[in-house]
């Protein structure tokens, strides 16, 4: 199996339904929906007719805000060259 497929399978989805979103932030579905209905949690986006989803970034920002983490202080993931199975030229000048 190609490395990119394996790496992609390990990533959380970019957008998710209510059950997965609740599990992603670590609360029950009922608690999550109550937070959404009260306006304390992010609102879903309408992806298609009848399909609402929450963006992973919105959920992470919500949890970060609850923890008192400001967006400017949040470190972003950095892709390390070769981490997804690509080759690294250890001596590019040779």
- pLDDT tens, position by position, 55-91: 999 999 999 999 888 765 445 555 555 555 555 444 5
The answer as to whether 65 is a domain residue is yes
Distance CA 57, CA 61 (A): 6
Distance CA 38, CA 77 (A): 31
Using DSSP's 3-state secondary structure scheme, residue 47 falls into strand
The answer as to whether 16 is a domain residue is yes
Give the E-state strand segments of the chain in sequence order.
Answer: 15-16, 45-48, 51-55
The answer as to whether 82 is a domain residue is no
The answer as to whether 53 is a domain residue is yes
CATH number at residue 50: 1.10.1660
User: What would the pLDDT profile of 33-58 be if each residue is shown by its tens digit?
Assistant: 999 999 999 999 999 999 999 999 99
Domain range enclosing 28: 12-70
Query: pTM for the whole thing?
Result: 0.64
């Amino acid at each position: 199996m190609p490395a990119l497929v394996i790496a992609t399978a390990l990533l959380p989805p970019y957008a998710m339904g209510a059950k997965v979103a609740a599990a992603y932030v670590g609360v029950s579905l009922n608690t999550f929906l109550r937070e959404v209905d009260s306006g304390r949690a992010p609102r879903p986006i309408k992806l298609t007719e009848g399909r609402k989803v929450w963006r992973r970034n919105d959920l992470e920002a919500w949890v970060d805000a609850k923890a008192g983490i400001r967006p400017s202080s949040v470190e972003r993931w950095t892709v390390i060259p070769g981490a997804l199975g690509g080759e690294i030229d250890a001596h590019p000048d040779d």
